[in-house]
Structure 1
């Protein structure tokens, strides 16, 4: 066998091995995802840089909370398709800031949508306009997010909204739709970008805010996660969605210190990338990346 023929043969063998390895990894990943979804709630805190996006899967239903930034929209679409998402039963756009709805038009265009919720707040930004046009193209109407609104996530699951509690705010962050989700004995609190004012309004309604998992408000900003609010939630796990070396200094040291005083385990997307938690209804564990 000539050297040229041998090299050609070796290259073919290496290519075949590479393909087989890739198929095996993909197959194992699919099996792992399928097993994870069976009789569990899986929550994906998707790394979208300096933004927010969470996918919740339970009882064969899919709920998407926010869609990250415009820059991350293609990454988000790939992630959802990789996880075999065809239909999003519910979408919640917590409030119309670009880092929360930047990818929303693309999501609406690429997937079947059940119900779409958002607060009664508008902006003149391009991403907001694109989102409205995408909804109109599919004849979808926005359902107004309001306290005590419930979403049907199937057996052993509850989902209800806690905010916004006013119709007008000076700060767009306070329009954020916060919601609490329970699966059997596991509880989660999602807070959008609510700041201290909205936190106080939620506290005044005397909701049971205790939660095993807290999606920390406003990327860990110092204007959110007040001591009083965190004391009511008392989370075992806190998730902070933020970008690496972001210009805002998120998460704020004071916020981190308040969480640490509660002995809360903190996971951050700028450090861990996408974070996936799985609950069987009693125990919550973090899946390895």
Structure 2
């Protein structure tokens, strides 16, 4: 399917407002769900009666994602972030847009000619939902009381590798913090390090499924997580996570979706479980 170039450009503007959803289960806690979508990423953050979805996994895992979200009785997302236009991250975005109320949709300013990107764009157009540009230092994502969101990247306007458009985002809930990295590789990691951002976190979502091109020693030393989460498919053909990355994580407690399945980390603002 071919999506008109002008229509895609029109998407990169402001969004719409829809009614608030009630999440009683999140009172005084933040829940971070690393959903097992095989070789891909999909992360749901629930706090202050708000839902933020980062990526939607590959299309082949649509049934897994559907079942998981159905169990949570979710009807809307306050924020949806498409980290970059690779199918293993946006393969189910058209399903999310078509079947849920989406208030704010964020993505970096980059296009792609893949079917996954085009079906996502068409669904956004049908819903009259505009893309808000995701970039460093933006402050428009608000998850309510006691939550601080720092967007550290992308810091450049153009990258040769689409992975480096992935935002590096820190979400702090009271005294606990999570660092999300999409598929950001060492080039983007170095940009963030050189900018002097505070990367220290309790939980690190390992970049690019544990590829050796991400999670450099310098980046890991700066973030210094006690927990590392790897979203990765069982027996994947890429060899993820690589031994070199696993060896760097010897000081952290490691959780993997290919081994542990769905992973939920709960923060009360002081401790994690």
TM-score above 0.5: yes
The residue that corresponds to 1:28 in the other structure is none
Structure 1 unaligned runs (5+)? 1-33
- 1:178 Cα shift? 1.5
Map 1:33-44 → 2, pairs under 5 A: 36-44=25-33
Residue 271 (structure 1) aligned to one of 244, 259, 262 = 259
Contact 1:44 1:275 in 2 (8 A): yes
Shift of 1:149: 1.3
Is 2:24–2:49's contact at 8 Å kept on the other side of the alignment?
no
From 237, 242, 247, the equivalent of 2:232 is: 242
SS of residue matched to 1:114: strand
Q: Deviations along 1:262-288, whole A, 9 cap, x unmatched?
A: x10000000000000000001001xxx
Per the alignment, residue 119 of structure 1 pairs with 108
Give the aligned partner of residue 160 of structure 2: 170
- CA RMSD in angstroms comes to 1.0
Q: Distance in 2 between matches of 1:245 and 1:78?
A: 23
Query: Unaligned stretches of 5+ in structure 2?
Result: 1-22
1:4 alignment partner in structure 2: none
Asked if 2 retains the 8 angstrom alpha-carbon contact of 1:116 and 1:140, the reply is: yes
Aligned residue pair count = 250
Q: Which of structures 1 and 2 has the bigger CA Rg?
A: 1
Deviation at 1:63, TM superposition (A): 0.1
Contact 1:117 1:144 in 2 (8 A): yes
Matched, 1:52 2:52: no
Tell me the TM-score normalized by structure 2.
0.90
Whether contact under 8 Å (1:36, 1:278) holds in the other structure is no
Q: CA offsets, 1:94-119, max 9 Å, x none? A: 00000000010001111000100001
2:61 maps to which residue? 72
1:281 lines up with 2:257 in the alignment: no
Corresponding residue for residue 20 of structure 1: none
**Secondary structure of the structure 2 residue equivalent to 1:284:** coil
TM-score when scaled to structure 1?
A: 0.85
